[in-house]
Structure 1
């Protein structure tokens, strides 16, 4: 014991050296324009945790907090929901490929950005907050580059890009991270990391198209908006896009695929997933408890509305559900569901995480949104996934390749395919067992995600933007990055060597030929 006490000063010194230097209470601005609560939940989780650590947080978003949090204030852009929902029919996007999807989404993204920048909340923010400045910016990095003008207006602090799903070619390109389409499927495509030749071909084309689209459409359109609202002084959009300090992806290889990452690209998962469960309403708790054959939970998330499904699809689903011995709990957005069978219960809103935690829930029918995927992975419930848009097909491919569920294409949905897909998962215990193992891996990484996010954000603050993390590839032109200039130099050198060799051989040949010429001329004279 005495020896331990004698060594205590050395131990404390070592601990002090290991711990990071304290970070001052910073002023942090979050800019999260997308009108979708599923996007906002992981962002809110990080910024609420930063507020709890004493940082002063301001958030520009369409989803202000419903309950006040100390050190946290909102700039309310909830008006954005109306136009966003009216401009996109999410239920009609199930058969749209990534390129067409991006073409459909681009006008909406640009329109949302324009109306937000012109709005009174943003103009008031610029009027009263610019002089104080901010120490760090969180920016949802997906097509909102005109907001770089606002970032410039508040002093151009370091930028942390954050995305509520896995990375796309556009995010990896912006931060200089390698992105090999032979093994890394595009997040808007429905492929796993084991692609066929034709899938690799399509994936490579999609990656190139996304890069072209951002360079030739998104950047120029955002540049026009930036100049309209912030004038000539901010730097070009392309320059700021390549100046991110950190990129946080809200998906992790445990629900994604392993890939090579730079040190300033951080994968996190389940930021919004609660470890503790909350009490369910008494009647719902009793209904779940009384399900002797188990419960099927059915929700298509916050964007795809079950009430908007085509009537023939809706009736097919109802007929399939009526054949089940299990009870079915369905998030359905209307008060009534005509033709609802007695084993089906509907509600406009349901506490999804607490329902998935109930031991009687045996299957989750989901659209495959990442936040729903993370919640069911945490609680270990197998899935039937019916993907529609965005990264949902990508997530579905991961679920299928991991053996934790089955996928049903919406175009193929009828009574028989729906019933067969449900019973396949329910009647095969292998799905539940594989999900149990999958959940064990997932929980281990989810447990450290929020702590990791806080450490990296404060690291960027401590090191003034951490420019030492940035990739050298950002300083290279595209042809330099692809080594085309090196290949051209090697090809020219090889060509020069070949030409020199040919020239030398020709001279040698000419040098050897005259030795036979005199005899030839002598024969000619003799003949004469």
Structure 2
């Protein structure tokens, strides 16, 4: 016993060396400008948990928390919603490929950021916080680069990029992570990992187009906008974009595809998905409980409005739903839906996670948004995807390739096509069985995602931005990264070797050829 007591200081020292150093209560800023609650939910989950750990959190967002949280302050820019919905009708995006959509939306993003940076809310924030400073910034890495000037104004702390989907070529380039067009379908293509030759060609073209649009057009416009609001002091947009400490992607290979990742790139999933189920309103609970044939849940998310669907498509959907023996619960943004069949119930807002948790829900008709996909995966509900924009095509491709759902384009919806697709999904038990297995894998990784995010955030704080994680590829020019300089050197060396061999052969030939000349000349003299 005495020997154990004598060794106790050494044991405590060893334990102290093994455990990570404690992280002080840091001042952390979140910049999340997108006016879309589906984008905001995973960000809020991380920031609320950091606040609960004692960090002082300030969040610039169009979606302030409905219930206050200690240590959490919102900078409310909810005015962004009104402007964004005036200039963009998402239901019209179904006919446009995602890369073209990005090109079309660029001017709108620039105007949105200009309005946000011009607002009194941001000016008030800067008046107070420019002298206070922050220890860390979370930045929504999605078309808001003029906010880099704000980051500079609060002391240029380390930056963690975060994105509510799985990332594109632009985000991977910013952190130095490889993104191989032969094996990694870009989120803007809508391909699965099983690409044909022509899909690989299109994937490469899409990646070139996205890079050109983002780094060529958007960076240029954001550079001008940043100078307008913050002057000449901040470093260039491009430089800041390649100075991230960590990149958090709110998607995971379980809902995407395996890829090579650097240690400072995190794939996390289901950050916003609640493990506990909340009680439903009594009348809705009774309506779901009474569905003897089950329930089809229909929601196109928070951006695509069902009320904005073309009238002929809306009528085709209603006729198809009327033929189902199941009850249908539809998030529909108007008070009433003319021609609504008796088996269809509509509401402007619905508690989606708690509905998907109900045992009577057998199918989810979705636009393919990632947060909806994550919730369906957690609750093991098969899917019918009707993609409109952005990463929705990509997510729906994953549903189809995993055989846990089917795809139907809006342009192809008729009464018969929709009815046949729903009937296949409900009548073929294979979809539900595969989704149960899919859900088992998903839940296992989802369970660790939030804790992993928090550990890495505090790791970056402990190690002052963790510069040791940054990839050497960020220091290389594009031709060095592609080894074109090496290839050119090898080609020149090979060419030099060929030329040297040719020169040596020519000299050898000339050296051997004159040996026959004297006899030849002697014969000529004799003949003469």
Report the equivalent of 2:423.
423
Report the equivalent of 1:527.
527
Report the equivalent of 1:508.
508
How does the TM-score come out when normalised to structure 1?
Answer: 0.98
Aligned-residue offset at 1:41: 0.4
Point out the more displaced range, 338-347 or 212-221. 212-221
Report the equivalent of 1:316.
316
Q: 1:368–1:393: 8 Å Cα contact kept in structure 2? A: yes
Report the equivalent of 1:219.
219
Go from structure 1 to structure 2 and tell me whether the alpha carbon gap of 1:468 and 1:376 turns closer, same or farther (over 3 Å shift): same
The CA distance in 2 between the partners of 1:34 and 1:270, in whole Å, is: 19
Deviations 1:159-202 (A, max 9, x none): 00000000100000111000001111111211100101111100
The CA distance in 2 between the partners of 1:7 and 1:326, in whole Å, is: 70
The CA distance in 2 between the partners of 1:10 and 1:473, in whole Å, is: 42
SS class of match (2:162) = strand
Go from structure 1 to structure 2 and tell me whether the alpha carbon gap of 1:296 and 1:463 turns closer, same or farther (over 3 Å shift): same
SS class of match (1:139) = strand
Report the equivalent of 1:236.
236
Q: 1:160–1:244: 8 Å Cα contact kept in structure 2? A: yes
Aligned-residue offset at 1:315: 0.4
| Residue correspondences, number | 528
Go from structure 1 to structure 2 and tell me whether the alpha carbon gap of 1:485 and 1:458 turns closer, same or farther (over 3 Å shift): same
The CA distance in 2 between the partners of 1:494 and 1:430, in whole Å, is: 58
Report the equivalent of 2:262.
262
Report the equivalent of 1:73.
73
The CA distance in 1 between the partners of 2:175 and 2:209, in whole Å, is: 18
Go from structure 1 to structure 2 and tell me whether the alpha carbon gap of 1:500 and 1:132 turns closer, same or farther (over 3 Å shift): same
Report the equivalent of 1:62.
62
Report the equivalent of 1:457.
457
Go from structure 1 to structure 2 and tell me whether the alpha carbon gap of 1:9 and 1:345 turns closer, same or farther (over 3 Å shift): farther
SS class of match (2:165) = coil
Query: Which of structure 1's runs of 4+ aligned residues deviate more than 3 A?
Result: 1-18
Aligned-residue offset at 1:4: 10
In the TM superposition, 1:42-441 aligns within 5 A as 42-441=42-441
Go from structure 1 to structure 2 and tell me whether the alpha carbon gap of 1:366 and 1:127 turns closer, same or farther (over 3 Å shift): same
The CA distance in 2 between the partners of 1:85 and 1:280, in whole Å, is: 30
Report the equivalent of 2:491.
491
Aligned-residue offset at 1:126: 1.0
The CA distance in 2 between the partners of 1:176 and 1:231, in whole Å, is: 29
Aligned-residue offset at 1:19: 2.4
Report the equivalent of 1:447.
447
Aligned-residue offset at 1:10: 7.2
Aligned-residue offset at 1:369: 0.2
The CA distance in 2 between the partners of 1:156 and 1:60, in whole Å, is: 17
The CA distance in 1 between the partners of 2:458 and 2:386, in whole Å, is: 39
Aligned-residue offset at 1:99: 2.1
Deviations 1:219-250 (A, max 9, x none): 11110011111111111111111000000000
Deviations 1:423-474 (A, max 9, x none): 1110011111000000000001110000000000000000000000000000
SS class of match (1:93) = helix
Q: 1:297–1:365: 8 Å Cα contact kept in structure 2? A: yes
Deviations 1:272-310 (A, max 9, x none): 000000000000000011111101110000000000000
RMSD: 1.6
The CA distance in 1 between the partners of 2:396 and 2:253, in whole Å, is: 14
Q: 2:188–2:391: 8 Å Cα contact kept in structure 1? A: yes
Go from structure 1 to structure 2 and tell me whether the alpha carbon gap of 1:420 and 1:3 turns closer, same or farther (over 3 Å shift): farther
Q: 1:98–1:206: 8 Å Cα contact kept in structure 2? A: no
Listed as ranges, the gaps of 5+ residues in structure 2 are: none
SS class of match (1:271) = coil
The CA distance in 1 between the partners of 2:266 and 2:5, in whole Å, is: 40
Go from structure 1 to structure 2 and tell me whether the alpha carbon gap of 1:294 and 1:12 turns closer, same or farther (over 3 Å shift): farther
The CA distance in 2 between the partners of 1:438 and 1:61, in whole Å, is: 33
Aligned-residue offset at 1:377: 0.4
Aligned-residue offset at 1:148: 0.6
Listed as ranges, the gaps of 5+ residues in structure 1 are: none
Q: 2:99–2:189: 8 Å Cα contact kept in structure 1? A: no
SS class of match (1:58) = strand
Report the equivalent of 1:475.
475
The CA distance in 2 between the partners of 1:159 and 1:404, in whole Å, is: 37
The CA distance in 1 between the partners of 2:188 and 2:73, in whole Å, is: 33
Aligned-residue offset at 1:67: 1.0
Point out the more displaced range, 259-268 or 210-219. 210-219
SS class of match (2:395) = helix
Q: 1:361–1:381: 8 Å Cα contact kept in structure 2? A: yes
How does the TM-score come out when normalised to structure 2?
Answer: 0.98
Aligned-residue offset at 1:12: 5.7
The CA distance in 2 between the partners of 1:4 and 1:123, in whole Å, is: 61
SS class of match (1:417) = helix
Deviations 1:29-78 (A, max 9, x none): 00001100000000000000000000000000111111111000011110
Aligned-residue offset at 1:89: 1.2
The CA distance in 2 between the partners of 1:417 and 1:126, in whole Å, is: 54
The CA distance in 1 between the partners of 2:245 and 2:181, in whole Å, is: 25
Report the equivalent of 1:31.
31
Aligned-residue offset at 1:17: 3.4
Go from structure 1 to structure 2 and tell me whether the alpha carbon gap of 1:6 and 1:385 turns closer, same or farther (over 3 Å shift): farther
Deviations 1:372-396 (A, max 9, x none): 0000100111111111111001000
